[in-house]
C-alpha cells in the first residue's frame, strides 16, 4: 500500500512525532510512505528511514501559501499515485479535500489530534475524509458532536504509539548532563512541549514556582525542551532564575530530536500527551499537566481517565501553581522503593496501551476500510492467508502476472490474515469472512477473480463449497466482471452440490481451468459457456532462492555433495489405517536402495509438522526435516537440487515440474492424478497401494528414467508457462474492457 502523509510541519510537537513514528512503522511493514510538510527538526529522521519528503508551505495560513501548497500537493499526488492520502491537520485536510473532489484515484482520510475551534473562518475550513482517526475517545466524541456530517461509524480511535525501544529505561542521559554542564547527582525535571503560548502554560508555571522549589530542593534542575512563539519570553525568565541562583539551574534546549536522551537525564517528567508518554516509557514518574487541565501525579487510580483523554488532562482539574508545587514536593519526598515502582508502572502502561504496533494496526484498519469505499481493478478470492505454501504461490503468481501487464493495477485480496497479506504482497486486503465489506468492495471493482486452486469441491466439506458459491453469487451481483482463474474442479461427492455449482457458474464471464479433467467434470455437470483449459498459475513463477536454501540444507546436515529426495506429507480425511508406517517404509526403501537422503518439506507449516515427525520417528534410516515455514523461492530452490519429489500435496508436484524435477504424487485427491496425467507424467501411487509396496516399481521407474523425464518436463514446463500467461492475458483484457 502507498500512503501519503501530509501535515503542517516536522518540528517538535505531538502531532509531528506521531506522524514520524507511524510513517516509520508503516514503512517497516513494507508499505511505501511519502510525507508532505513544511519540514523541520524531524525531516532528517523521516529521510533517514528512506521515506520521501516533499516541501510545501503548510505552516503559513496566507492565501498565497495555501495556493502554493495546493499546487504542490496536487503534483505530488499525480506523481506518487498513493492509495491513501492521510491528512493530519486542518489546512492539509482542506487542500487534500479539494483535490479529492476531482481526483478519485486515492482514498482520503484524516486524523484529529486535538479539539480546535469550530467558529469563524477556521471552523469552516474543517474537512474530513471518508474515515477519520481520533487519538482518544473524547476526541471522537468532540468530532461527532461538532461536525454533523461526520458519522460515529467512520471515526476510529487509536493511540499515540511510542517507540519503546528508543524510549526505554536503559537509555543513558550522560551526554545531556555533559552537554549542558549539569550536576550528575541533581534532582532534575524535564518538560517537553511545543512552546507556543497557547499550549505551554505548565512551562510558565514551573518557572514561576522554581524559586520556591529550590528552597526545599537545593540541587533542583529544570530542562525545558521545545520551540515556539513563547520561547523568548520563557528564556528570559529562565535567565533571570539562573542569575539569581548563580548556576545553570534552568536549561532551555530549543527544538531537539534526541528527547529520549533528555528524558533519560530526568528524575521525573512533567507534561501531557505524547511527550509525557515518552518520559513514562523510560520509567520516569510523571506529573500530568497541560493547558486543558491538571491530573497531577500519575498513579494506578488515574489510568482510566488518562486513557480516556489520551493523557492530555482534558476534562480534569485546572492547572494550579500550588497543586503543581505540592506534587513536585511529593515526588521528591517519596521513598525510593515507592518512587522506582511508580516509574516501572508508568512504563508498563505505555507497553500495554501505547505501542507503535497498536497505532499502526489501528491506522491500517482505517486504511482498509477507506479503500473498501474506493475502486479496485481486481479483487481476488482463494484459500489465502492460511500459510499454505501452494496457495501462497498461487497468489504470488497471479499478482505478479497482473502487475507485469499493468504495474499500476489496483488489487485487493480477500484473506484470512489481511494485514499480513497486504504487507507481504503489497496489495490492499480485507477479511475473507466479512461479507458486508466484500459487497461494498465488489460494488467498485472491475473484475472478481476466484482462484486458483480447487475451490469448487466438497471433498473438504460442503460448508467450504457453499462459502465459495455464496461469494461467487455476491460477485456476479455486485462486480462488473467475474472469472475463474485456472481453477481445479472437484471432487464433487454429492449430486446436490453439483447442481449448486452449475447454477453458481451461470453468468460467470470467463472460466479458465488448470487441467482437462476439471473441464470434463464441469461438462459432465452440464456447465456451458466460455471455458478454457490453461495451466496452474504457479507455472508462471521463474525465480527461486539459492543462497538461503544452501544454508537451510547445510544447517540440517545436508551438504552440497549429498543427493536427496524431497518428501511432502499431510493428513487427510479417510487416509488408510497405518498410513504413517507405510510412508516410513517407503522412505526407508529410497534411502537404503539408492543411498538418497530423505528431506521432509512442509507445505503448510506447522500443520504438516505432526505427521512428518511421526513418519520420521518410525523410519529406520536417518532422515531430515526442514522444520520451518519456507518462502516460495526457498521451496523451489530446495526442490531444484533434489533427485525426486514425492508429495501428498498437489503444489509440491507443480513446484517440481516448474523446475523440471521428477515427481510422484500420492493420490489423496483425484486432482493429483489429474495433474500428473495432464503434464504427461503418469507417476502416482494410490494410498491403499502403499501397504502392498506398490511404490517400489513407480520409484524405480522414475529414478531409472530420470534423464528422459527431466527433458520432457523442461518442454512441458515451457508449454505450461505459456498457458499460465494466457490466463493472465484474459484477466487483463477483462479489466480493461
pLDDT at 456 over 90: yes
Rounded CA separation 128/143 (Å): 10
pLDDT at 724 over 80: yes
pLDDT at 274 over 70: yes
pLDDT at 591 over 70: yes
User: Which residues fall within 8 angstroms of residue 292, CB to CB, at 6 or more apart?
Assistant: 272, 309, 312, 313, 314, 315, 316
Residue range 105-133: average pLDDT? Answer: 80
Residue range 594-610: average pLDDT? Answer: 94
Tell me, what's the pLDDT at 737? 78
- Superfamily the domain 375-533 falls into: Glycogen Phosphorylase B; (3.40.50.2000)
User: Which residues fall within 8 angstroms of residue 162, CB to CB, at 6 or more apart?
Assistant: 21, 274, 277, 278, 281, 350, 354, 355, 356
Residue with the larger pLDDT of the pair 269 and 102: 269
Q: pLDDT band at 368, cuts 50/70/90?
A: confident
Residue range 203-213: average pLDDT? Answer: 97
Q: Which residues pair with 483 in a beta bridge?
A: 449, 510
Residue range 258-275: average pLDDT? Answer: 95
pLDDT at 546 over 70: no
Q: How many residues does the chain have?
A: 737
Tally Cβ neighbours within 10 Å of residue 308: 16
CATH 3.40.50.2000 is held by the domain 547-720: yes
Tell me, what's the pLDDT at 529? 73
Q: pLDDT band at 118, cuts 50/70/90?
A: low
Q: pLDDT band at 463, cuts 50/70/90?
A: very high
Residue range 455-463: average pLDDT? Answer: 89
Tell me, what's the pLDDT at 119? 64
Strands (DSSP E) found in 432-521: 445-456, 481-489, 510-513
Q: What percentage of the chain has pLDDT greater than the value 90?
A: 70
Sign of CA dihedral 467, 469, 474, 480: positive
- CA-to-CA separations, 361 to 31, 109, 352, in angstroms, rounded: 13, 15, 14
Rounded CA separation 393/655 (Å): 9
Q: Is residue 180 exposed (0-12), middle (13-18) or buried (19+ Cβ within 10 Å)?
A: middle
Q: pLDDT band at 545, cuts 50/70/90?
A: low
Sign of CA dihedral 317, 322, 325, 326: negative
**Are the folds of 375-533 and 547-720 the same?**
yes
User: Which residues fall within 8 angstroms of residue 15, CB to CB, at 6 or more apart?
Assistant: 7, 8, 88, 89, 113, 114
Residue range 551-567: average pLDDT? Answer: 91
Domain boundaries, the chain: 2-157, 174-354, 375-533, 547-720
For the entire predicted model, the pTM comes to 0.56
SS3 (DSSP) at 495: helix
Three-state DSSP string of 178-193 = HHCCCCCCCCEEEEEC
- DSSP for 558-579? --TT--EEEEE----TTPPTTH
Q: pLDDT band at 121, cuts 50/70/90?
A: low
Cell numbers for 631, please give them: 518462502
pLDDT tens sequence across 312-351:
998 888 899 999 999 999 999 999 999 999 999 999 999 9
Residue 177's Cβ-side half-sphere holds a number of Cα atoms within 13 Å equal to 13
Residue range 368-385: average pLDDT? Answer: 86
Tell me, what's the pLDDT at 547? 65
Rounded CA separation 652/424 (Å): 21
Tell me, what's the pLDDT at 202? 96
Question: Average pLDDT of the chain?
Answer: 92
Q: Which range has the worst mean pLDDT, 14-28, 117-131, 391-405, 675-689?
A: 117-131
SS3 (DSSP) at 644: strand
With vertex at residue 277, the alpha carbon angle to CA 276 and CA 282, rounded to the nearest 5 degrees, is 100
pLDDT tens sequence across 432-441:
999 988 998 8
Q: pLDDT band at 723, cuts 50/70/90?
A: very high
**CA-based end-to-end distance of the chain:** 25
Q: pLDDT band at 1, cuts 50/70/90?
A: confident
CATH 3.20.20.100 is held by the domain 2-157: no
Beta strand 286-290 with 293-297 is antiparallel
pLDDT at 122 over 60: no
pLDDT at 117 over 70: no
CATH code given to domain 174-354: 3.40.50.2000
pLDDT at 374 over 80: no
Q: Which range has the worst mean pLDDT, 144-158, 246-260, 392-406, 715-729?
A: 144-158
Residue range 4-18: average pLDDT? Answer: 90
Residue range 136-141: average pLDDT? Answer: 85
Tell me, what's the pLDDT at 124? 66
Q: pLDDT band at 138, cuts 50/70/90?
A: confident
Mutual orientation of helices 231-245 and 201-216 as an angle, nearest 10°?
Answer: 10
Q: pLDDT band at 621, cuts 50/70/90?
A: very high
Residue with the larger pLDDT of the pair 350 and 419: 350
Amino acid at each position: 500500500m502507498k500512503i501519503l502523509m501530509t501535515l503542517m510541519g516536522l518540528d517538535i510537537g505531538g502531532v509531528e512525532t506521531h506522524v514520524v513514528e507511524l510513517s516509520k512503522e508503516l514503512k517497516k511493514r513494507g508499505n511505501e510512505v511519502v510525507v508532505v510538510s513544511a519540514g523541520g527538526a524531524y525531516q532528517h529522521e523521516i529521510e533517514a528511514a528512506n521515506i520521501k519528503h516533499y516541501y510545501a508551505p503548510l505552516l503559513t495560513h496566507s492565501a498565497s501559501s495555501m495556493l502554493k501548497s495546493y499546487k504542490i500537493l496536487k503534483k505530488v499526488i499525480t506523481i506518487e499515485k498513493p492509495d491513501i492520502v492521510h491528512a493530519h491537520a486542518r489546512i492539509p485536510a482542506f487542500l487534500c479535500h479539494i483535490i479529492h473532489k476531482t481526483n478519485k484515484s486515492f482514498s482520503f482520510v484524516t486524523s484529529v489530534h486535538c479539539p480546535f475551534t469550530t467558529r469563524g473562518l477556521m471552523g469552516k475550513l474543517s474537512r474530513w475524509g471518508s474515515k477519520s482517526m481520533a487519538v482518544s475517545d473524547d476526541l471522537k466524541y468532540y468530532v461527532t458532536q461538532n461536525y454533523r456530517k461526520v458519522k460515529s461509524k467512520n471515526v476510529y480511535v487509536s493511540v499515540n504509539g511510542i517507540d519503546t525501544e528508543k524510549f526505554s529505561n536503559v537509555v543513558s542521559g550522560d551526554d545531556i548532563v555533559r552537554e549542558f554542564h549539569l550536576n550528575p547527582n541533581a534532582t532534575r525535571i524535564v518538560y517537553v512541549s511545543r512552546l507556543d503560548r497557547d499550549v505551554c502554560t505548565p512551562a510558565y508555571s514551573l518557572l514561576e514556582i522554581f524559586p520556591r522549589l529550590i528552597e526545599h530542593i537545593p540541587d533542583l534542575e529544570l530542562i525545558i525542551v521545545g520551540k515556539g512563539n513563547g520561547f523568548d519570553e520563557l528564556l528570559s525568565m529562565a535567565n533571570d532564575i539562573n542569575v539569581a541562583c548563580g548556576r545553570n539551574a534552568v536549561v532551555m534546549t530549543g527544538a531537539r530530536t534526541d528527547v529520549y536522551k533528555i528524558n533519560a537525564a530526568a528524575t521525573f517528567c512533567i507534561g501531557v500527551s505524547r511527550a509525557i508518554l515518552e518520559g513514562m516509557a523510560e520509567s520516569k514518574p510523571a506529573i500530568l499537566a497541560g493547558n486543558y487541565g491538571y491530573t497531577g501525579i500519575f498513579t494506578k487510580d488515574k489510568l482510566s481517565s488518562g486513557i480516556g483523554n489520551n493523557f492530555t488532562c482534558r476534562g480534569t482539574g485546572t492547572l494550579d501553581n500550588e497543586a503543581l508545587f505540592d506534587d513536585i514536593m511529593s515526588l521528591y519526598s517519596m521513598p525510593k522503593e515507592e518512587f522506582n515502582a511508580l516509574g516501572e508502572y508508568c512504563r508498563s502502561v505505555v507497553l500495554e496501551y501505547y505501542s507503535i504496533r497498536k497505532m499502526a494496526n489501528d491506522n491500517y484498519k482505517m486504511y482498509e476500510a477507506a479503500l473498501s469505499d474506493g475502486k479496485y481493478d481486481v479483487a481476488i478470492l482463494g484459500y489465502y492467508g492460511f500459510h499454505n505454501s501452494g496457495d501462497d504461490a498461487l497468489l504470488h503468481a497471479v499478482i505478479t502476472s497482473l502487475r507485469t501487464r499493468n504495474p499500476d493495477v489496483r488489487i485487493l485480496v480477500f484473506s484470512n490474515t489481511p494485514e499480513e497479506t497486504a504487507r507481504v504482497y503489497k496489495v490492499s486486503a480485507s477479511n475473507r469472512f466479512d461479507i458486508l465489506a466484500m459487497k461494498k468492495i465488489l460494488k467498485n471493482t472491475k473484475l472478481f477473480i476466484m482462484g486458483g486452486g480447487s475451490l469448487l469441491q466438497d471433498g473438504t466439506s460442503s460448508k467450504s463449497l457453499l462459502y465459495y458459491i455464496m461469494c461467487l453469487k455476491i460477485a456476479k451481483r455486485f462486480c462488473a466482471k467475474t472469472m475463474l482463474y485456472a481453477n481445479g474442479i472437484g471432487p464433487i461427492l454429492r449430486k446436490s452440490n453439483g447442481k449448486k455449482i452449475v447454477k453458481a457458474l451461470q453468468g460467470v464471464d470467463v472460466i479458465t481451468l488448470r487441467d482437462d479433467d476439471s473441464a470434463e467434470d464441469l461438462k459432465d455437470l452440464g456447465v456451458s459457456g466460455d471455458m478454457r483449459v490453461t495451466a496452474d498459475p504457479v507455472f508462471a513463477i521463474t525465480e527461486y532462492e539459492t543462497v538461503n536454501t544452501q544454508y537451510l540444507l547445510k544447517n540440517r546436515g545436508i551438504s552440497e555433495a549429498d543427493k536427496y529426495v524431497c518428501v511432502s506429507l499431510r493428513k487427510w480425511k479417510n487416509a488408510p489405517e497405518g498410513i504413517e508406517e507405510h510412508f516410513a517404509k517407503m522412505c526407508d526403501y529410497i534411502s537404503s536402495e539408492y543411498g538418497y537422503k530423505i528431506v521432509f518439506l512442509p507445505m503448510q507449516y506447522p500443520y504438516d509438522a505432526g505427521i512428518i515427525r511421526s513418519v520420521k520417528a518410525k523410519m529406520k534410516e536417518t532422515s531430515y526435516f526442514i522444520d520451518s515455514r519456507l518462502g516460495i523461492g526457498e521451496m523451489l530452490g530446495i526442490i531444484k537440487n533434489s533427485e525426486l519429489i514425492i508429495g501428498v500435496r498437489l503444489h509440491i508436484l507443480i513446484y517440481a515440474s516448474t523446475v523440471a524435477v521428477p515427481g510422484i504424487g500420492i493420490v489423496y485427491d483425484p486432482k493429483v492424478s489429474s495433474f500428473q496425467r495432464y503434464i504427461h507424467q503418469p507417476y502416482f501411487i494410490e494410498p491403499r497401494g502403499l501397504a502392498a509396496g506398490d511404490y517400489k516399481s513407480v520409484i524405480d521407474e522414475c529414478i531409472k528414467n530420470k534423464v528422459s523425464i527431466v527433458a520432457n518436463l523442461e518442454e512441458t514446463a515451457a508449454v505450461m508457462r505459456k498457458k499460465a500467461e494466457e490466463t493472465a492475458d484474459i484477466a487483463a483484457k477483462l479489466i480493461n474492457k
